[in-house]
Amino acid sequence: MRNQYLEKCRKWISGHQLLTGLLGSLLVMATAFVVWTQVLSPQEEQVAEAPLLSLVEEVSNDKVEESAEERPESSTEIMVDIKGAVKKEGVYSLATGSRVTDVIRLAGGFTAEADKKSVNLAQKLTDEEVIYVATVDEDLSLIETTANRGETPGTSKAGDDGKVNLNRASAAELQAISGIGEKRAQDIIAYREAEGGFTSVDELINVSGIGAKTLERLKTEVCID
């Protein structure tokens, strides 16, 4: 019985060789496809992904480097200009967060004529700040007024034309003007303090010892705020 079945199969295969060959080819192709998808394809995907991952890492690193370059460095030092009744006036470098007492110490401390009430020793300093220490004989109200205007109190701060500022000049600076001696300089300062400052150069006519001719000459050498 078994032999008869095998004989029939051989006869069928012999009569259908073309179909058998086609089925065999399809089986081989199917096997090859399975092998390719399961073994070869993942390797190709890994090879393709490797350059892409490398490119992503390079772009990411470039962004980090650019951010580091663009980030400004935080300054840990400030520069402060101290003037007035200290032993060593000048510009000093201090650490951020320093206070007025620190810059006064660097400047050698107060002079004997310093009015210690004119500054707040506990005040924090900022970069490019100007600290002015007044003397005991200076008018603090006038100093505060000029400070509120954003100017350095107690200095004449001559304009670009070299004129002396009547509202901020010291006695010595006034005496540097031709024809103004010690007495006249003191009279000008006394008038300035009494009137709260000059509002016009013409007010010099109200100062004792200054007449019309002197006023006209002084107009070329003095100015006001």
Q: Mind listing the pLDDT tens digit for each residue in 50-99?
A: 555 565 566 566 555 555 555 544 568 999 999 889 999 999 999 999 99
The CATH classification number of 139-225 equals 1.10.150.280
So what's the pLDDT on residue 139? Answer: 60
Taking the C-alpha atoms of residue 95 and residue 101, their distance in angstroms, rounded to an integer, is 13
Q: What's the whole-model pTM score?
A: 0.37
Per-residue pLDDT, averaged over 175-186, amounts to 86
Domain ranges within the chain, ordered by starting residue:
2-70, 72-138, 139-225
Looking up tokens 């010892």 gives 209
Domain 72-138 has CATH 3.10.20.600: yes
CB proximity list for 103: less than 8 A, separation 6 or greater: 80, 82, 92, 94, 125, 131
Q: How many CA atoms lie within 13 A of 162 on its CB side?
A: 4
Record the tokens describing residue 36, joined without a space: 């390719």
